[in-house]
Amino acid sequence: MGRMEKIKNSSPEKHLCDKCRAEVKPFWNPIMNQYEYLSLCDECIAVKNQQQKEEELKKQMAMDEEKRKNKIARLFDSSYLGKRYRGCTFDNFHVMPGTESALTRAQKFVENFGSFAQTGTGLIFFGNFGCGKTHLAAAITRELVTKGKSAIFQVVPDLLSRIRATYNRGSEESEYELINALTEASCLVLDDIGAEYQKKQMDDSMTWAQGILYLIINNRYNEMKPVIYTTNYSLDVLEKRLDGRIYSRMIHANDGVVIEATDYRLRKLEA
């Protein structure tokens, strides 16, 4: 416990705590041969010490969080969105028939990210080609990054190739550090889940790709960290394409958002 400033006094007269005005008892300092007072009472000193401890802890936590964010940002730059999706926002998402609730759900996810993060709940965007799934997932990532969160956007097949490339001799990054960052990020988008290369194993064991996906998804599931998925496949097809353990966790931890809009890429043909 840190000593407060001393107030020297030659005689033990009444002295009040600077903060709460309670009486502070004098004590005899035999070395100085005099009575002394602390400027605060014992209770106020205890409160102050507790506050200092909490502030230091908060500072330390903020520093750790900053380090974690920088590490993730170094490995997964938000430019990974690619040129087309880098400019995707909620504002430039035009509400088309069938997209209204999807836009609202995406915006609510960002707005209430705190509670989604608390419960580890994510979203799955279902829908046909070009209905705006990736646009909304990219907009969510951008918004979260703007809010200072560590959010990663990854196209599943690309991510798997990148992880596979770490096995090459001389690779500058390791599978371990990539998986770590993917586990630690506040939010992870897995774009096009189910589109990864499939090869049925004779013995029904997972393929390499499924094993890696399982590792990432299970880590996040255990840590209760949200994942946003987009997929072209219906629930039934996904169930067949994904390993049962992945599918089970995905369904448990996510709310489904179905987009029934037509292909935005083809809208010029409709005019």
Ligand X SMILES: Nc1ncnc2c1ncn2[C@@H]1O[C@H](COP(=O)(O)OP(=O)(O)OP(=O)(O)O)[C@@H](O)[C@H]1O
Site residues (vs Mg ion, CB under 5 A): 134
Sheet with 227-231, edge to edge strand ranges? 151-155, 187-191, 227-231, 122-126, 254-258
Residue 17 touches which of ligand X, Mg ion, Zn ion, none (Cβ within 5-8 Å per kind): Zn ion
Q: Note whether 249 binds ligand X by CB under 6 A.
A: no
Indicate the residue among 18 and 263 with the shorter CB distance to ligand X.
263
DSSP reduced 3-state for 109? helix
Residue 24 or 160: the one with the smaller Cβ distance to Zn ion is 24
x/- map, 210-239, ligand X, by CB under 6 A: --------------------x-x-------
Element (H, E) at 267: none
Binding-site string for Zn ion from residue 3 to residue 42, where x marks contact by CB under 5 A and - marks none:
--------------x-xx-x------------------x-
Nearer to ligand X, 62 or 95 (CB): 95
Closest by CA to 256, choosing from 265, 247, 244, is: 247
Tokens 């400019």 correspond to 87
Question: Quick one: what does residue 186 bind among Zn ion, ligand X, Mg ion, none, with the CB cut-off 5 to 8 Å set by partner type?
Answer: none
* Stretch near ligand X under the rule CB under 6 A, chosen from 25-33, 130-138, 144-152, 234-242: 130-138
Binders of ligand X among residues 72 to 101 (CB under 6 A) are 84, 88, 93-94, 96, 99
Which residues face 37 on adjacent strands? 7
Q: Measure the CA–CA gap between 231 and 101, rounded to whole angstroms.
A: 17
User: Cβ–Cβ contacts within 10 Å for residue 69, how many?
Assistant: 17
Report the residue from 57, 234, 265, 266 that binds ligand X according to the rule CB under 6 A: 265
DSSP string, 15-64: -B-TTT-PBPPPEEETTTTEEEEESS-HHHHHHHHHHHHHHHHHHHHHHH
Residue 129 contact among Mg ion, ligand X, Zn ion, none, beta carbon within 5 to 8 Å by kind: ligand X
Q: Find out whether 125 and 228 touch, Cβ atoms under 8 Å.
A: yes
Residue 19 contact, options Zn ion, Mg ion, ligand X, none, Cβ 5-8 Å cut-off depending on partner type:
Zn ion
Nearest approach, Cβ of residue 133 and Mg ion (Å):
5
Measured in whole angstroms, the distance separating CA 190 from the mean position of its chain's CA atoms is 14
Binding site for Zn ion (CB under 5 A): 17, 19-20, 22, 41, 44
